[in-house]
Amino acid sequence: MKEVKVPILPESISEATVAAWHKKPGDYVEIDDVIVEIETDKVVLEVPAEESGVLSEILEKEGETVSENQVLGLLDDEAKEVEVEAPAEEVVEEVPIQEAPAEEVVEEVPTQEAPAEEVVEVEEAQNIASDDNSNLNETPVMSNRMEERVPMSRIRKTIANRLHSATQNTAMLTTFNEVDMSEILTMRSSYKEAFEKKYSIKLGFMSFFVKAAVESLKKFPTVNAYIDGNDIIYHAYCDVSVAVSSERGLVVPVLRDAHKMEMHEIEKRITDFAYRAQEGSLGVDEMSGGTFTISNGGVFGSLLSTPILNSPQSAILGMHKTEDRPVVVDGEIVIRPMMYLALSYDHQIIDGKEAVQFLISIKEALEDPARLLLKV
């Protein structure tokens, strides 16, 4: 008999929750089949079968809190898969069909009319019976004020706690600007086929924003720093966190050394993050750290928002939906594809002037992408 145990948990994580059993007692399991999923504060871990056999018993049900190496269930590795034979077809003996007798002619009996007074009484009785039956057959109207109580997942609890902590422990403020996306849209249209052919990845918006953020972080290092007690920690590198939505909640994997990455590398990494976020296969180390965060609410249609800081970071950039709006260019009203930008920052470490200049730096880099190539 083999024990199905909680795997070794990532560093700094002491317990987990049984998220979902993929097998039930009596099921035959092949080697490497996923038996159960364990959810930690940051990731979901799959527990595969180390041996083939039959799952004989589940010791920890879904929703239970477990610790590292705790036994979750028992696997009978000596049991073999039972092949169920299809039942043999039954031979049905044909029975000769006997013809029905000819229809008998029934002589009609003349109906005798009831007296008028009796007819009224019968009709009233029928009406009363009909009303009673209609009441019995009526389906009760279901209330639409139903409620359902569902326990929060560990990931959702962690997200809630971190967001609440960010709002309570920082002097968060948001500044806004807007960017004309015309040049980026033109560049994407001109080079998207050549870019995809060379790098086997599509050219999206995120690589432009990451590059613009990196160049701006170099100019304003305080935006790339954070508070630790009575000290300010400055970073000589840019690890950009990218907010990615998944079915289990928001995760924020990190582009390590984003200042060294080319645009095609950024696009590939972000696409990989998005795919594995849906699978739940991102590692804890991939979501730890980060010096600055970018969140794109525009993919969901958000026009404007105030993103919450990703502690202990001091700033987060919010992207939004691009839509055509009338703007004034050289004294004339023209229609341009515009996007609102939002920068939320911790006023304890970043001054308002610095935050505004940082956001303008990003705006200028995006409106004139040549700046990203020339790094000016």
- Per residue in 64-73, pLDDT (tens digit) is 888 888 899 9
Domain-embedded: residue 111:
no
Q: Is the peptide bond before 307 cis (omega within 30 degrees of 0)?
A: no
Instruction: Return the residue matching tokens 């993050």.
Output: 273
Overall residue count recorded for the chain in this entry: 376
Domain-embedded: residue 101:
no
Region 146-175 average pLDDT: 84
Domain-embedded: residue 265:
yes
**Are 167 and 56 in a shared domain?**
no
Residues 311, 166: contact at Cβ < 8 Å? yes
Lowest-pLDDT choice from 73-77, 330-334, 339-343: 73-77
- Per residue in 248-290, pLDDT (tens digit) is 778 899 999 999 999 999 999 999 999 988 887 888 788 888 9
Lowest-pLDDT choice from 86-90, 112-116, 334-338, 351-355: 112-116
Alpha-carbon distance 361 to 34, whole Å? 49
**Buried b / exposed e across 210-219, counting CB within 10 Å, b at 16+?**
bbbbbbbbee
**Are 366 and 241 in a shared domain?**
yes
Please identify every residue annotated as catalytic.
347, 351
Domain-embedded: residue 7:
yes
Domain count, the chain: 2
CATH number for the domain harbouring residue 31: 2.40.50.100
Looking at per-residue pLDDT, the higher value among 375 and 368 belongs to 368
Domain-embedded: residue 18:
yes
CB atoms within 10 A of CB 184: 22
Domain span at residue 46?
2-76
Is 143 a residue whose pLDDT tops 90? no
Look at phi and psi of residue 323 and say left if phi exceeds 0, alpha if psi is from -120 to 50, else beta. beta
Would the pTM count as exceeding 0.85?
Answer: no
Give the per-residue pLDDT at 362.
96
Joined tokens for residue 217: 């972080």
Nearest to 323 by CA among 307, 309, 340, 311: 340
**Are 231 and 366 in a shared domain?**
yes
| Domain end residue (candidates: 46, 76, 106) | 76
